[in-house]
Chain A
Amino acid sequence: NAGVMQNPRHLVRRRGQEARLRCSPMKGHSHVYWYRQLPEEGLKFMVYLQKENIIDESGMPKERFSAEFPKEGPSILRIQQVVRGDSAAYFCASSPPTIRRDTGELFFGEGSRLTVL
């Protein structure tokens, strides 16, 4: 059973370009979270999605950032017009569907490291 797959693992962009980060959750998982991590810091929540729905995007900047989790295919975190401050590791996590509030047992990918020149 493959784990959470993120790609690319490393991405270099120049200021003003777009970055697209992809996340394929574990088989059978319908919940996806995206987090951002700066060096020596914890993971900051960005967005929580279920298939075709954004459940909570309170941690995501209102401008330039967007996320989707289509019915088919991976979840995508898109950053438009990147700036140097967007340089970070972006982690995706998935969790299985649950009939009650999500328990917080998350399965993480290895992250995508974005460097903005």
Chain B
Amino acid sequence: LAKTTQPISMDSYEGQEVNITCSHNNIATNDYITWYQQFPSQGPRFIIQGYKTKVTNEVASLFIPADRKSSTLSLPRVSLSDTAVYYCLVDPRRGFGAGTRLTVKP
């Protein structure tokens, strides 16, 4: 089952673009890559999902290289309210790694 690795924390400033990369070297052919956001005392919330290449929605973009061994979540022009923990998930039965704690500063 695929395991994911992400940076533990990142700092940014309002208005900047933030890129968070996740490695998943053992991703299976059928696995999708899904990113979630979690605020304190809340359940994770779906941000974006992809299988390969690039996916974009109204809040984020997801870049997946051809070998699919990593993925990068891109958050354009972050605001203070984007301060949260971000998780990438490859296999729901593997669970979530420790995630990346993003702190956005004024």
Contacts and interface: CB of A to CB of B under 8 A. Distances in A.
Interface residues of B, number: 25
A91 B31 contact: no
B13 interface: no
A111 B42 contact: yes
Contacts of A95: 92
A95 B98 CA distance: 22
B90 interface: yes
B31 A42 contact: no
Nearest to A102: B92
Interface string B70-106: 0000000000000000010111111111110000000
A49 B95 CA distance: 15
B13 to A, nearest CB: 24
Nearest to A46: B95
Given A104-B31, A104-B32, A43 B93 contact: no
Interface string A75-113: 000000000000000010101000011111111111100
A58 B41 CA distance: 26
Contacts of A111: 41-43
Interface string A5-46: 000000000000000000000000000010100000111110
26 contacts: A35-B95, A35-B96, A43-B96, A44-B95, A45-B93, A45-B94, A45-B95, A58-B93, A91-B43, A93-B92, A95-B92, A101-B30, A101-B31, A102-B92, A104-B32, A104-B33, A104-B34, A104-B49, A104-B89, A105-B46, A106-B44, A106-B46, A106-B92, A108-B44, A108-B45, A111-B43
Interface of A: 4, 33, 35, 41-45, 48, 56, 58-59, 91, 93, 95, 100-111
Given A41-B98, A42-B95, A104-B33, 18 more contacts: A35-B95, A42-B96, A44-B96, A45-B94, A45-B95, A59-B95, A93-B43, A93-B44, A100-B30, A101-B30, A101-B31, A103-B32, A104-B49, A105-B49, A108-B44, A108-B45, A110-B41, A110-B42
